[in-house]
Amino acid sequence: MLDASGQALAYIYARDTREQADIAKVLTLDEARRIAVNVAKLPELLGAKA
Protein backbone atom coordinates (compact mmCIF):
# COMPACT_ATOMS: atom_id res chain seq x y z
CA MET A 1 0.00 0.00 0.00
CA LEU A 2 1.21 3.47 -0.83
CA ASP A 3 0.15 6.79 0.62
CA ALA A 4 -0.66 9.87 -1.45
CA SER A 5 3.03 10.76 -1.76
CA GLY A 6 4.01 7.25 -2.86
CA GLN A 7 5.50 6.18 0.47
CA ALA A 8 4.98 2.51 1.32
CA LEU A 9 2.68 2.12 4.31
CA ALA A 10 2.50 -1.64 4.50
CA TYR A 11 3.48 -4.77 2.66
CA ILE A 12 0.87 -7.48 2.83
CA TYR A 13 2.09 -10.83 1.56
CA ALA A 14 -0.42 -13.35 0.26
CA ARG A 15 -0.91 -16.47 -1.85
CA ASP A 16 -3.77 -17.68 -4.03
CA THR A 17 -4.88 -20.69 -2.01
CA ARG A 18 -5.06 -21.59 1.68
CA GLU A 19 -2.59 -24.43 1.12
CA GLN A 20 -0.04 -22.11 -0.52
CA ALA A 21 -0.59 -19.50 2.20
CA ASP A 22 -0.09 -22.05 4.97
CA ILE A 23 3.13 -23.32 3.40
CA ALA A 24 4.49 -19.78 3.01
CA LYS A 25 3.06 -18.69 6.39
CA VAL A 26 1.27 -15.72 4.83
CA LEU A 27 -2.33 -14.69 4.23
CA THR A 28 -4.66 -15.74 1.45
CA LEU A 29 -5.47 -13.10 -1.17
CA ASP A 30 -8.94 -12.58 0.32
CA GLU A 31 -7.53 -12.05 3.82
CA ALA A 32 -4.87 -9.68 2.54
CA ARG A 33 -7.42 -7.71 0.53
CA ARG A 34 -9.61 -7.23 3.62
CA ILE A 35 -6.66 -5.97 5.63
CA ALA A 36 -5.57 -3.61 2.84
CA VAL A 37 -9.07 -2.15 2.59
CA ASN A 38 -9.17 -1.53 6.34
CA VAL A 39 -5.70 0.06 6.35
CA ALA A 40 -6.86 2.36 3.54
CA LYS A 41 -9.83 3.44 5.70
CA LEU A 42 -7.65 4.43 8.68
CA PRO A 43 -7.27 8.14 7.82
CA GLU A 44 -11.04 8.48 7.54
CA LEU A 45 -11.62 6.56 10.77
CA LEU A 46 -9.03 8.65 12.61
CA GLY A 47 -10.52 11.89 11.32
CA ALA A 48 -7.54 12.91 9.19
CA LYS A 49 -8.06 15.84 6.87
CA ALA A 50 -7.24 15.36 3.20
**Considering its fold, how many domains does the chain have in total?**
1
Range of the domain at 34: 14-45
Per-residue model confidence as pLDDT tens digits over 1-50:
677 788 887 889 999 999 999 999 999 999 999 999 998 888 888 886 65
7 found inside a domain: no
pTM, whole model, 2 decimals? 0.71
Distance (Å, rounded) from C-alpha 22 to C-alpha 43? 31
With contact defined as beta carbons under 8 Å apart, do 30 and 36 qualify? no
- Is 50 part of any domain? no
Instruction: Give the CB-side neighbour count of residue 36, counting CA atoms within 13 A.
Output: 16
Domain annotation covers residue 41: yes
Is residue 5 in a domain?
no
* CA distance linking residue 33 with residue 43, whole number of Å: 17
Q: Do the domain assignments include residue 36?
A: yes
The HSE-up count of residue 28 (CA atoms within 13 Å, CB side) is 6
Residue 31 lies in a domain: yes
In a domain, 33, yes or no: yes
